[in-house]
A and B are shown apart, each in its own frame.
Chain A
Amino acid sequence: MEPKRDSKFSISPIGSILLVHISEEIDDTDINTLLDCLSKEIVRSSAKGIIVDLSNIDVVDSYLASKLSNIASIASLLKAKAVISGLRAPTIITLLEFGIKISGVDFAIDVDHALERLM
C-alpha cells in the first residue's frame, strides 16, 4: 500500500535509512496507515534505520506519543533503529508538563544529527 499524494506523511529513502515526515494535520487513521506503510517499507528496503521528523508538529499528544513508541518497537523488531528528530522546546515543555513519555526511541535535534547517529 503506497501513501497517497495528498497524504499527511511521507516516507523517503536516504541510502539505507527511511526518512518519515509527519505534517501537523495528521489524524489517528493516518497514523495507522503510516505504521502500516512504514513496516512494509522497512522490510522491502531492508532499512537499518528510520528517522521520524517532527519539526512540523507543535503538539504531541499522548496518542501520537504512544504511536511513536509503537514505531520504535516495530523498527527494533525489524532490525532497524528509530530516531525522532526536530522536537522543539515548547513541544518538549508540554510533553513534560503532561508527563507524556515516548519510550524505546532515540532523539536528535534535526535530521542531520539523526543521520549522523544512524550512520
Chain B
Amino acid sequence: MSKIAIDFDQDPFLDQVINAVPSGIFVIDKEHNILMVNKAAAEMVGKSPGECFDRKCWEIFKTPMCNTEECTCRRAVESNSTIRGLSVMYKDGKEIPIEYAARPLKNFEGKTIGCVEHFIDISERLEKERIIVKQQEELLKKREEDIRHLQEEILELSTPVIEVWDGVLALPLVGTLDSHRAKLATERLLEAIERTRSPFVIIDITGVPTVDEEVANHILQTVDAVKLMGSRAILTGISPHIARTMAQIGVDMSNIVVQGRMSDALHMALSEFIKYSSSEDTIKKLVKR
C-alpha cells in the first residue's frame, strides 16, 4: 500500500480538529483498511479510535451494506462521486439510524487512493420528525372533527322553525337546499306543527340563492307535507330571478299559495283567521295580542 500524502498521526492540529467534529469521520484506503478515524466515529460503535485503527472498516462499522456490492466507499470510488444515503449502525446491540456521505480521496496527482466517509446519528432527528408527523396528524384529525361539528351546527342553525304568531309558523330557508337539508327542514316543520297545532306555515325562501328542479321539488314536497298535516303553507320571498327559473323549469305551482313578503303572508294568515273564526272571542284574542 502506497503511503498516503497526509500523515494524520504526524499532524496534531489536524488530529484535534477532526476529533472535535461531533459527527463520525473515517478514511480508508482502497483495501478498506482504516487509515484514520475520529473519536465520534469510534464512539458511535462503542470503541476507541485506537481499537479501530488499521482494521477493515466492515469489521468495525457493521452496517447492512458493509462488505457487499452496496458498500458506500466502493460505490463512491467506482463512480468517482459523492454517495449519500441512510443506513443503520449497531452500538451495544442497539440500532442507531445514520445519514452518511462518502467521497473518493485523491492524492496530489489526482489518483484515487481511498475514500473518506462521514456519518451522523439521526435518531433524534427521526424522533422529532415522527413527533411532527404525529402532531400534524392530530391537528388534521382535530380540524376534520371541527369541520364536521361546524357542518352539523350549520345544518342545525339553517332550519329553524319560528312561531311568529299564535298559530303561524315560519320556516326561513337560507342557503342551498340539498335533499338532506330539505328532509331535515320538513321533519322539523312537521314536528313543530304537531306541537303547536298551527294552521298556517310561512315558508320563506329569501335566503335561497338559486332554485333548480331538485330544490323546487323539495319545496313542493314540504308544502305537500304541510298540507297532509292539516296546515296551509304560504310560500314567500321568491326573487325575480328564482321566479324566472321556476317558470322556465315548468314547476307546477298551482296548488301553492304565494305571497311577496313574509309580512304579506302574515297579514293573509291573520285575515283568514278572522274570516274563519265565527266566535268573536277569537277575533278579539287575535287583535289584542
A interface residues (Cβ-Cβ under 8 A, vs B): 85, 87-89, 92-93, 95-96, 102, 107-110, 113-114, 116, 119
Contacts and interface: CB of A to CB of B under 8 A. Distances in A.
B97 interface: no
Q: Which of B190, B221, B224 gathers the greatest number of chain A CB atoms within 10 Å? A: B190
B154 interface: no
A119 B282 CA distance: 15
Interface in B183-216: 183, 186-187, 190-191, 193-194, 197, 199
A88 B278 contact: no
Nearest to A87: B228
Contacts, number: 46
15 contacts: A87-B228, A87-B229, A89-B193, A89-B194, A92-B228, A95-B228, A96-B221, A96-B225, A102-B228, A107-B227, A109-B194, A109-B229, A113-B230, A114-B230, A119-B278
Contacts of B227: 107
Given A113-B197, A119-B278, A92 B229 contact: yes
A87 B230 contact: yes
Interface of B: 183, 186-187, 190-191, 193-194, 197, 199, 221, 224-225, 227-231, 276, 278
Contacts of A108: 230
Contacts of B276: 116
B231 to A, nearest CB: 7
A92 B190 contact: yes
A107 B197 contact: no
Q: Which of B186, B199, B228 gathers the greatest number of chain A CB atoms within 10 Å? A: B228
Contacts of A113: 197, 199, 230
Q: Which of A96, A102, A108 gathers the greatest number of chain B CB atoms within 10 Å? A: A96
Contacts of B228: 87, 92, 95, 102, 107
A112 B83 CA distance: 91
A90 to B, nearest CB: 8
Given A89-B191, A93-B187, 4 more contacts: A87-B230, A92-B229, A110-B197, A113-B230
